[in-house]
Amino acid sequence: MKIYPYKRLNRPITLRVTSVSLSLSDGTRDQLETTAYSTQQQAVALGTAGHADWVSATIGLSATLPPGANAPDAAWSDLSVLAVLTDGETNVRTSTVLTREAEGGLDWSGSLKVLRDDHLGRASLSVHAVGTVDGVPGRSIAETDRSWIVDTVSDEPVRGLQLDVQKASFTKSSREMLRACADAPWVVDASARVPTVFVNTEVEGVIGLLDSNGSGVDSKVRDLLVAQMATDVWTAVFHGAIGDLEVGPGGSPVFPTDWQGEVLREMLPDVMPGMHVEEALRQVHRRRTGESGWVELQTRIHYAAVRRTDATRALAYVIRSLEQTNRESET
């Protein structure tokens, strides 16, 4: 948790997306359905309409400040509210000033324009309230505690980890990384723009099992295989994200604004239970770069990965299916 040398609001700003439209290359506009954004997931998907020629998107926003923001005896003046879209991959930051809906009210609204050429994948959308405190303008008064995700390519508004699964012959691949892992059934590349799982087509039966739609023991084994693969993915991307952190002026690590930041926010509560995510990030970074504590943390990282894959349930299904098969063969 950050410490501020002045009074602030103790509760976060609530952000909602109210509309999404696309400006197309022929000059027309397409108002997207509400399925293009999800309040539960806090995500916007600009690929839902299937347009390959959109130039910009306009996202309607509504933000509610916590109680006390407009109190007569507030420690700040000249209050303003800004929506900020940050893309860690392209280093583009876009901001817009929101307008108070009613005099003395807590609701602010406006719209943010997203230029397609400025983004390759996902960007992070947050809202900040700023004001003048003790004669200093531009002080941060409050902000959203969780950013929305704006995905410029996805056709589904989800904020979870997105994967690219590719099949490849490891021994014949042009990628040196795959040739060096010729006897592995799959490997994870966490350095890509989107985490990629390469499945080795030379391992007998793996592709057929993954592609199977049958029932019975085969389906349970497939689910267990997918759970194990997903565990490897979560573990790899967590290590990739932690190993590529930027450090702020005060020496504290900064959350990435792309999928890496989402992975960290998702897993840190299980890696460092009982801590605010910002403090958990500092603790994990300190252990990784310090002299001790990093090796001991691997068990918690693996546990956090397993929790996100339903591996326990998949294993239980396989065991029950095998026990049932054995009982039937004995009768």
What is the model's pLDDT at position 302?
Answer: 92
If you write DSSP's letter for every residue of 215-241 in order, what string do you get?
-SHHHHHHHHHHHHHHHHHHHHHHHHH
Contact 109, 17 (CB under 8 A): no
Rounded Cα gap, residues 96 and 127, in angstroms: 10
pTM assigned to the model = 0.61
Tens digit of each residue's pLDDT (9 = 90 or more) over 197-220: 899 999 888 887 777 766 666 677
Q: Region 270-285: what's the mean pLDDT?
A: 90
* Kind and range of the H or E run holding 242: helix 217-242
Instruction: Answer yes or no: is pLDDT of 28 > 80.
Output: yes
Q: How confident is the model at residue 2 (pLDDT cuts 50, 70, 90)?
A: low
Tens digit of each residue's pLDDT (9 = 90 or more) over 246-266: 887 777 888 886 678 878 888
Rounded Cα gap, residues 240 and 232, in angstroms: 12
- In the chain, what's the furthest Cα-to-Cα distance? 85
Residue 147's identity, in one-letter code, is: S
Contact 59, 32 (CB under 8 A): no
Query: Which residue is it, tokens 């531009």?
Result: 138
Contact 298, 284 (CB under 8 A): no
Residues near 237 by Cβ (< 8 Å), separated by ≥ 6?
161, 188, 190, 195, 259, 260, 263
Q: How confident is the model at residue 40 (pLDDT cuts 50, 70, 90)?
A: confident
Q: How many angstroms separate the first and last alpha carbons of the chain?
A: 63
Tens digit of each residue's pLDDT (9 = 90 or more) over 162-196: 667 889 999 999 999 999 999 999 998 887 767 88
3-class secondary-structure state, position 117: helix
3-class secondary-structure state, position 283: helix
